[in-house]
Amino acid sequence: MSMIKVENLSKSYGPAVALDGISFEVNRGEIVGFLGPNGAGKSTTMKILTGFLLPTSGSATVDGLDVVEQSLEVRRRIGYLPESTPLYTEMRVDEYLRFTAEIRGVARNKTRSAVSRVVELCGLQRVVGKNILELSKGYKQRVGLAQAMVHEPDLLVLDEPTSGLDPNQIVEVRSLIERLGEQHTVILSTHYLQEVEASCSRVIIVNLGRIVANDTRDALVASMPSGPVRACIKGPEDAILSQLAELVPTETARVVGQKNGAVDIMLDTAQTESDVEEAIAALVVKNGWGLLSMTRQDPMLEDVFRSLTTTDEKVLENA
């Protein structure tokens, strides 16, 4: 059974459509990245799954339970970290975690061990006796993750978990999310692609309230055309450019730099790697030039994201 199953889910705020009939599943044990630009519908989806919002139409289940009809049972199975971390800053870390354990229904005789477990897992040992107000943004985020896990939920829903953190804090939180994925199903809503690259086994991309991609990171990247070829060639610049123009007449070779008497050239081409790179190498040999380096820029998840989320809204409406 899927941990999450969403079918034709829609949410409107008056005339504004936040979600437009999305459907997807998340299997047990997966870490799934839910990507999209600002306003794409990510947080709306998270809030519906966690019972904070009611859908306009469609359905969603968590562990086979309907998020509307069986909302309380769903919430017992979920650990939720919203974009704005829910903390009572006047409380100490240990007090706050005991409080969240109590309201989450953790048995009184198990509260101490539950709090100790998340303190260790989230690396809070150094700050456990401090007021939350005194903590850095990174530690506050860790406390937010700890409160989401204190009742040992089956599913973790994390909405922008590294928003506003510095680079070191981001690395620490990402590492923690990877460890959490060993014991929990995780759906991670973000517009930071690095999070997905580092942690997620599958990627769902949403744009303008619709799902535009749902696959592994490698499969999505493989669907993109090959990137540009960059070659550093030692020889006369005019001759190099003119002969490359004849070699690939549909594209323009452009100079991006010069070093050590060589010309650094970028060639955007849709040809396969072997086609264009072998042809460039043969051209260099034929003319007696020197080939100092040649690489092809592989497509990245960022390229997939940009290609799927910069589509004009009118095109989507007519799709």
Domains annotated on the chain, with CATH: 4-222 (3.40.50.300), 229-296 (3.30.70)
Per-residue pLDDT tens over the stretch 66-76: 999 999 999 99
- Tell me, what's the pLDDT at 316? 40
User: Which of 218, 217, 287, 215 is CA-nearest to residue 247?
Assistant: 287
Q: Is residue 315 pLDDT above 50, yes or no?
A: no
Quote the Cα angle for 184-185-188, to 5°: 115
- Stretch 281-292: mean pLDDT: 92
Residue 296 CB neighbour total at 10 angstroms:
17
- Side-chain half-sphere exposure of 255, counting CA atoms within 13 A: 15
- Tell me, what's the pLDDT at 251? 66
Residue pair 119/125 in contact by the 8 Å Cβ criterion? yes
Q: Is residue 61 pLDDT above 90, yes or no?
A: yes
- Stretch 44-48: mean pLDDT: 93
Q: Name, in order, each residue with C-beta under 8 angstroms of 209's C-beta and a sequence gap of 6 or more.
A: 17, 18, 19, 20, 22, 40, 41
Q: Which tokens go with 171? A: 């690395």
Residue pair 155/77 in contact by the 8 Å Cβ criterion? yes
Distance CA 214, CA 203 (A): 6
E strand map for 123-281: 155-159, 185-190, 202-207, 210-215, 229-234, 253-259, 262-267
Q: Which pTM value belongs to this model?
A: 0.79
295 strand-pairing partners: 230
- Stretch 98-103: mean pLDDT: 95
254 strand-pairing partners: 266
Q: Is residue 36 pLDDT above 70, yes or no?
A: yes
Distance CA 258, CA 242 (A): 17
- Stretch 238-248: mean pLDDT: 85
- Stretch 68-87: mean pLDDT: 91
Q: Is residue 272 pLDDT above 70, yes or no?
A: no
- Stretch 218-239: mean pLDDT: 87
